[in-house]
Amino acid sequence: MKLLVAITFSLFLFTALTHGQDSGLKGGTIIAPDKYDEWGDAPFADEKVHLDKIAKQAKEWTLSIVYLVIHAGQTACVGEAKARGARAKEYLMNRGISTERVVPVDAGWRKELTVEAWILPPQLKRSNVPSDLDLKRSQVKLQKNCKIQYRGH
């Protein structure tokens, strides 16, 4: 099974790296990677289900990098995206994923809290996060001295 996954992943990577060479572009292009998973405001017990799925896939794709792109919600604790990223990274490390393979990204704020998980080969860098849904600081209510929490959304 692991051999089949490794072969499939290698074929995907080869296809991604060579895609577009006959389209007239010099040197070929790399296709845009897809998100592996996404979730919103959830109790940590539910978030662990997503993180366990990510850990399992990252173990199968042994060279991959896990990017966790976190947008805090319109009402958020100060530093919430960073704190959620640190908590998720620690959880994944406790599941056997090395620290250099987990990259949490504080991506600002959106109306609703959002966590996007991208599992990419090291040759592909995380693509830019679309900012069309982002909120400005003036549109956000930041709460001081609070803990990251499920807000029931």
Phi, psi (degrees; rounded to nearest 5) at 81: -60, -45
Mean pLDDT of 101-116: 94
**Predicted TM-score of the model (pTM):** 0.73
Q: pLDDT category, 129, cuts 50, 70, 90?
A: low
- Beta 102-110 vs 134-135: how paired, if at all? antiparallel
Model confidence at 34: pLDDT above 90 = no
Tens of pLDDT, residue by residue over 59-86, are 999 999 999 999 999 999 899 999 999 9
Q: How far apart are CA 151 and CA 42, in angstroms?
A: 8
Question: Distance of CA 83 to CAs 45, 73, 80, 119, 122, Å?
Answer: 16, 13, 5, 20, 25
pLDDT confidence of residue 151: 64
Q: How far apart are CA 90 and CA 96, in angstroms?
A: 10
User: In terms of pLDDT, which residue wins out, 112 or 2?
Assistant: 112
- What percent of the chain is modeled with pLDDT above 70? 70
Token pair recorded at residue 22? 């006959």
